Amino acid sequence: MKQVRIITDGACEGNPGRGGWAAILRFGHHAKEIYGFSPHTTNNRMELTAAIEGLRALKEPCEVEVVTDSEYLKNGITTWIHKWKRNGWRKGTIKNQDLWEELDRLANQVHRTRWVWVRGHADHPDNNRADQLATTAAREQIARV
């Protein structure tokens, strides 16, 4: 399996408000930036969307290290999701359930993922770039996939 790193971020102008997401995909010396927007959303939905779109962009199953500055995203996919699944996803009680289910499918059935949390707005150049892309996408309502 190819080893890929995906650095993700989400942003929102108001919460809820205009949102943006971004993912930087790295494979060897290659990098690809993707980003998009939603006219009315929340920051947490954009964080989840960034990870989902990053994983969707891969053309084959891969070993993926997902880097995020969102504790919500990392804790949700590595810890909380196990209880949600054990309890049958109890419809209507889990915020952003549609996105969690899709992320679970991509992260655990299609790819092999490892999740890494980094402090936001710190010394991680790719995280800073993803933040810049997501913020710009939110403000300007632009996309590039």
Pairing of strands 30-41, 62-68: unpaired
Q: Which of 20, 47, 53, 76 is catalytic?
A: 47
Residue 10 annotated to the active site: yes
Neighbours of 80 (CB within 10 A): 13
Tokens representing 34 are 């993707």
| Whether residue 69 lies in the annotated active site | yes
Q: d(Cα 69, Cα 78) in Å, to the nearest integer?
A: 14
DSSP for 40-96, written as a single string:
EE-HHHHHHHHHHHHHHT-SS-EEEEEEES-HHHHHIIIIIHHHHHHTTT-TTSSTT
**Catalytic position from the list 19, 20, 36, 69:** 69
126 is catalytic: no
Asked if residue 96 lies in contact with residue 48, where contact means CB atoms within 8 angstroms, the answer is: yes
Catalytic hit among 29, 30, 60, 121: 121
Q: Report the chain's C-alpha Rg in angstroms.
A: 14
Q: Reply yes or no on whether 121 is catalytic.
A: yes
* Residues catalogued as catalytic: 9-10, 47, 69, 121, 131
